[in-house]
Every structure is written in C-alpha cells, then in structure tokens.
Amino acid sequence: MSARRKLVTGVAVLSAALTVAFFWALVAGRAHVPLSKLFHPDYAPLVTLRACRALLGIIVGAGLAVAGLILQAVLRNPLADPYVLGVSSGAGLGAAGAILSGLVVLGTWVIPGAAFAGAVLAILLVYALARVGKTVPVYTLLLAGVIVNAVASSLLIFLAHTAIARGRGLYSVMWWLLGSLQVLELWPVMAAGVAVGGGLLVTLFFTRDLNVLSIGEEPAAHLGLRVERTKKILFLVSSLMTGAAVAASGLIGFVGLIVPHAVRLVVGPDNRVLVPLCALAGGVFLVIADIIARTILPTGDLPIGVITAFLGGPFFIYLLRTHRRGGPK
Amino acid sequence: MNAIEVRDITCGYGGEPVLRGLSVDVPSGDFLGILGPNGSGKTTLLRAVTGVIGLDAGRVLLNGADVASLARREVARQVACVLQESAVSAGVGDLAFTVCEVVGMGRTPYLSRTGWETRHDREAVDRAMELAEVAHLSDRPVTELSGGERQRAFIAMALAQECDIILLDEPTSHLDIAHQMGILDLFAGLNADGGKTVVGVFHDLNLAAEYCGRILLLKDGQVAGLGTPDDVLTAETIEGIYGASVEVGPSPVTGRPHVFLKKS
C-alpha cells in the first residue's frame, strides 16, 4: 500500500474510533447517561464535564504520542519517550513544590503553572548541559536528560520525605505524579489544546525531515537537511507539547512510548504517515484508558497511569507478535 | 570546466585544523581517488566539498558557485554522497524502512515540506533502483538485506538525487570482493557513460589504482601527490606517506600499478 493510501485509510479508521470513544466517554461512568438523553438538560452538567475530560484525553494523548515519536526518530532510540529529556521530573518537582509549599491556596492555576515552569527549566538545563559549541549531539542530550531526571527525582523523594514527616500533602503529590484527566476548570484544557495543536501543526511540516533524520545525521546533511536547526526545532516542539500535556494532567506514563511503536508496527516507519496517525491513536488510547480508569472500581477513580501500562503492555506484545516486519531474526 | 574547485581551505573540528591550506581542482567527468593514512583528512575533505562542515579559511566552488553561498538543498541537488554502509541506520529500532522508502529519501532536496512525490520523483527512484540493481528488493526492509545489498540500496538513494557529482566515502569497506568490484564497476560506468564526476575516498590502494583516473594523496591535511595512478603510486611515495614498506608492480591483468607488502 502506498504511503498516501495508508495515511487516508488510517485517518479514516482512527477518526471513526475516536468518535466512538468520545461518545462512549460521555455515556460511561458510575452514573450512566442513556444515549437518548445525551443532550437532555438534566444531564448537561455531567455530560459537559465528561466531554471536557475526553477532550483533555485526546489532547494529552495526541501530544504525548507525537512527542514520543519525534524523540524516537531524532534520538534514533526506540526507548525514547517524552519524559526521557527531563521534562517529566522538572514538572513533577514544580508541581510537588507548589503543593507542599502551600502555594496552591493562591488558585487552581498554581499546580499546572508550576509544573509547566518546572518542565521548561528542566529542558533548558538539559539543553545547556548537552550543548557543544553550536551543535547538540544526541547522545550527550540523552545522558544530560538521564542525569537531570535522576537529580530531580532525588529532590522529589526528598520533598516527599518531608511531606511524610509533616503528615500532609503526600497524597496530593502522589495523585499528581500518577496522572489524571480530571478537569476542574476549562482553561488548562484550552491551554494544552493550543500548545499541542500548535506543536502538531509544526510537526506536520517536518515529517519528511523526521524520516531523513532517523537514518542518521550525516546522511541527512548530505540530503540537504539543515540538521542542527531542524533538531533544535523538533526538540523545542516535543518539549512544549510534553510540558503542556504534563501540566494539564500529571505524569501519565507509557502513552508516549507505546503508541508510536504500536502504530509503527502496523503502518511501517514512514513519519509522514506516523505523525497524524499517532496523534489520533494517542487520543483514542487515552480516552479509552480513562473510561476504564473511572469505571473499573465501584469506589472511585483509579490513576489512569495504572490502566495505560496494564492495557498498553499486553496490547503492544500482541502487535509485536503479529505485525513484526523486518528486523533481525 | 571544473566540477569542484577547492581553494586553499583550512577546516577541522573544535579549532584543531584537519585540512591546512589545501587546494585541488576536479575537472568535470574526472574519476578522482583520495588516498592517505588514517587522520590525513580524506573524509573531512568530502565534508568540506558538500559544505557539511564549515571552513575556517578558503572556499569551495561547485560548478563555479561558492558552496557557502548555496542553500543546503541546492548543494544536495548538485552533489550526492555515498557513505560507508555502517554510517547509515535503517530506522528506529528494528522497524526498518524498505529499500523503496530509503531510495525515495534521495528525492528530499527536490520536495517541498508537505508535498508528496510526483510521477517524476517516482521515475527517478525507479531508475536509481534499476541502476544500482536493487529493483527486485524494492519492498524488502533494509535490515533484511546483506551488507552488500544494503550498500547498493544506499547507493540508489544517492543516485535518486540525480547529481552530476558523486562523492564516495569508502563505499566498499567491509564488503566482499565481488560486491567491491560490482559497486566500483557501477561508478566507473556512471563516470564513463553517464558523464558523472566521481570523487572517492579509498583505503584499498589497489582498488583505487584499478578504477581511478587520477589519485590525490593526502598527508597531514595537505596534498602529498596528485596525478595518474602510475605517476603517484610509487614505492617511495607510499613508504613516505604511510610509513609501510611496499613494492609496486604492474597488475598482470590491466597493467595498472599494484602494491605488494614487504613483510619484515
């Protein structure tokens, strides 16, 4: 099948899946909303809340999946995910700091704001550490990411330890770190939507560059690519999308690693097809995971990160066993 | 008309110059081999010609135009580069691009950011795959191929760039003798019949002597010899440059100079 055919078919299938998942998210929950009463005024507050939550799932899923895809291609590393360059630990530290310092009383903007600021600081630090002259070698960047992650994690554990000693705040920090699509206000959803939508739009102009970069920087340069400039733009875009997603929903794991791989297993490695399909698939995956997370226990929501890994893992193994093409045998 | 003019260039990595005031002209239609010991600047010279590495001094002209003033894409329409097979990766993880997809990347300098390949692009890809004899492997992932087949796929990618100048950076290292000959026969044909200018870095002196019209010898980033294989590949020059004791005699097949090792 040609790349264009794959893209058209994939977009059609995944758009349909996304529509189904979205409406399922509106009706499913501890309080069931019959499909016939979906637009009934009595149900309006509940349905609106669920719609916002599903929308956030689509935004965050798309952002994390595309950010992971970009980093896997640019770092030429299949283990790369959106959190590998320190964005997550920076955001975690920011959020935990905001919760434990008591600044949260200033308003609901404090936690997402602090998380986003932490993410930006972490990525700037990683970038500064990795820079050699005008270039940013990918291995140095990965190492800098690992180190910043490690240092930030230790600080986070230190903060958690003080929270235990004081006997408060630990639960909020834990809940944030595990991630949730809970929507308290509309603006974080809109802010994340603008950041992820903008990032996705930019990425769509770089899909061929992603292909060329994934065969190596030297061959990419000989094909006429301005390698360092392109890398810089792509790192910036993936970091912003990740930072925005994390600020709005906490650290939802596994999406950014597994969705790109799963889609790649089915349609192949061409990023011109992968970028739009990963965005859609990430959204579908997270909306469904969230439905399960909030309906599986009669007592209350489960952290969505539990579901993404628990469902995503076996599904990925299934794809790996049935769709594998190429590779050493 | 000179395809490449290298004028007194100095360049290197992190302030330490690898090439020092090097000049060489490559006439259109030449088949030039670059030889020299490890670290003498052979690969750096190729990088300077394509402008992938910046120059500290001097300039490089491609068909009369200064490389530094050309857009990267424009350079990639004039010069294609075949790297060592191990210098190109097949994709992320073990999910590899197919031969056809890799060869299609050769069209990058002609395509807009969002445009798909036109019919002309697909024809160029097909022609390149025919020339490099990988058309029958078109839908195979490159990881499934042997080293020789994979290198032919990467050669097809360079040919799809439709450039008049082709640079080779040890294109046959790690390949068996049949693949070495097959690949160099291909470039010899492109040079003789297609009028392409070919400039290649070689480690194997005999291979270079057999295929190249002219040889450029480098030592310590400077020209240590330039001329036909007969003129340049003498026992004294080779001993002087590589510090290895050799004897040189004519090949019984072609009469071109061949290097024999003098074991101590």
Inter-residue contact A20 to A289 (CB < 8 Å): no
CA contacts within 13 A on the Cβ side of A69 = 38
Answer yes or no: do B97 and A4 touch at CB < 8 A.
no
Task: Give yes or no for residue A326 having a pLDDT over 70.
Answer: no
Q: So what's the pLDDT on residue A321? A: 81
Q: So what's the pLDDT on residue B197? A: 97
Task: Identify the bridge partners of residue B65 per DSSP, sorted by sequence position.
Answer: B62
Assigned token pair, A128? 């500064």
Task: Give yes or no for residue B29 having a pLDDT over 70.
Answer: yes
The predicted-structure confidence for A118-132, as pLDDT tens digits, reads as follows: 999 999 999 999 998
Share of chain B above pLDDT 90, in %: 86
A234: helix, strand or coil: helix
* Reported ipTM: 0.93
Answer yes or no: do A225 and B108 touch at CB < 8 A.
yes
No. of H helices and E strands in chain B?
Answer: 9, 12
CB-CB neighbors (< 8 A) of A76 in chain B:
89, 92
How far away is chain B from the Cα of A280, in angstroms, using its nearest Cα?
Answer: 19
How far away is chain B from the Cα of A113, in angstroms, using its nearest Cα?
Answer: 34
CB-CB neighbors (< 8 A) of B76 in chain A:
222-224
- The string of DSSP letters for A215-230 reads T-HHHHHHTT--HHHH
Mutating which of A132, A212, A215 best tests the B interface, going by the most B Cβ atoms within 10 A?
A: A215
Identify the band that residue A292 occupies on the pLDDT scale cut at 50, 70 and 90.
very high
Mean pLDDT, range A75-80, rounded to an integer? 87
CA contacts within 13 A on the Cβ side of A43 = 17
Answer yes or no: do B105 and A3 touch at CB < 8 A.
no
Chain A residue closest to B90 (CA)? Answer: A215
Q: So what's the pLDDT on residue A104? A: 78
Q: So what's the pLDDT on residue A177? A: 87
How far away is chain A from the Cα of B21, in angstroms, using its nearest Cα?
Answer: 24
In angstroms, rounded to a whole number, what is the distance separating the alpha carbons of residues B29 and B165? 9
Q: B93: alpha, beta or left, given left = phi > 0 and alpha = psi -120 to 50?
A: left
In angstroms, rounded to a whole number, what is the distance separating the alpha carbons of residues B216 and B4? 14
How far away is chain B from the Cα of A216, in angstroms, using its nearest Cα?
Answer: 6
Q: Residue ranges of the domains in chain A?
A: 3-323
Instruction: Tell me the backbone φ, ψ of residue A327, rounded to 5 degrees.
Output: 80, 160
Q: Mean of the per-residue pLDDT values for chain B?
A: 93
Inter-CA distances, A19 with A66, A114, A193, A288, B257, Å:
20, 33, 18, 11, 72
Answer yes or no: do B116 and A4 touch at CB < 8 A.
yes
In angstroms, rounded to a whole number, what is the distance separating the alpha carbons of residues A252 and A245? 9
B230: helix, strand or coil: helix
Q: How far apart are the first and last CA of chain A?
A: 24
Inter-residue contact A304 to A297 (CB < 8 Å): no
CB pairs under 8 A between A and B: 110
B12: helix, strand or coil: strand
- The string of DSSP letters for B164-198 reads SEEEEESTTTT--HHHHHHHHHHHHHHHHTT--EE
Mutating which of B92, B149, B166 best tests the A interface, going by the most A Cβ atoms within 10 A?
A: B92
CB-CB neighbors (< 8 A) of B102 in chain A:
215
The predicted-structure confidence for B58-112, as pLDDT tens digits, reads as follows: 999 999 999 999 999 999 999 999 998 888 887 666 678 999 999 999 999 999 9
- Taking alpha carbons only, the member of A285, A309, A306 closest to residue A296 is A306
Nearest to A327 among B80, B94, B109 (CB): B94
Give A198's contacts (C-beta < 8 A, 6+ positions apart): A240
Identify the band that residue B15 occupies on the pLDDT scale cut at 50, 70 and 90.
confident
Rounded (10°) angle between helices A44-74 and A255-267: 70
A3-323, what's its fold?
A: ABC transporter involved in vitamin B12 uptake, BtuC (1.10.3470)
Q: So what's the pLDDT on residue A328? A: 37
Chain B residue closest to A212 (CA)? Answer: B105
B203: helix, strand or coil: coil
CB-CB neighbors (< 8 A) of A225 in chain B:
72, 108
Answer yes or no: do B113 and A205 touch at CB < 8 A.
yes
Answer yes or no: do B97 and A264 touch at CB < 8 A.
no
Q: So what's the pLDDT on residue A78? A: 85
| Residue located via tokens 């424009």 | B74
How far away is chain B from the Cα of A134, in angstroms, using its nearest Cα?
Answer: 10
Assigned token pair, A312? 């995503």
CB-CB neighbors (< 8 A) of B142 in chain A:
326
The predicted-structure confidence for A7-25, as pLDDT tens digits, reads as follows: 999 999 999 999 999 999 9
CB-CB neighbors (< 8 A) of A84 in chain B:
none
Higher pLDDT, A34 or A63: A63
B55: helix, strand or coil: coil
Question: Residue B234: is it exposed, middle or buried by C-beta count within 10 angstroms (0-12/13-18/19+)?
Answer: middle
Answer yes or no: do A222 and B76 touch at CB < 8 A.
yes
Inter-CA distances, B147 with A299, A327, B85, B206, Å:
59, 14, 7, 22
Q: So what's the pLDDT on residue B92? A: 66
pTM comes to 0.92
B249: helix, strand or coil: strand
Mean pLDDT, range A314-328, rounded to an integer? 69
How far away is chain B from the Cα of A133, in angstroms, using its nearest Cα?
Answer: 8
Q: How far apart are the first and last CA of chain B?
A: 47
Answer yes or no: do B96 and A327 touch at CB < 8 A.
yes
A55: helix, strand or coil: helix
The predicted-structure confidence for A236-260, as pLDDT tens digits, reads as follows: 999 999 999 999 999 998 899 999 9
In angstroms, rounded to a whole number, what is the distance separating the alpha carbons of residues B97 and A274? 13
Assigned token pair, A243? 């930072």
Q: So what's the pLDDT on residue A325? A: 52
Chain A residue closest to B163 (CA)? Answer: A223
Inter-CA distances, B111 with A235, A277, B122, Å:
23, 22, 12
Instruction: Tell me the backbone φ, ψ of residue B203, rounded to 5 degrees.
Output: -100, -35
CB-CB neighbors (< 8 A) of A272 in chain B:
116
Inter-residue contact B189 to B135 (CB < 8 Å): no
Answer yes or no: do A326 and B94 touch at CB < 8 A.
yes
Answer yes or no: do A214 and B96 touch at CB < 8 A.
no
CB atoms within 10 A of CB B121: 18
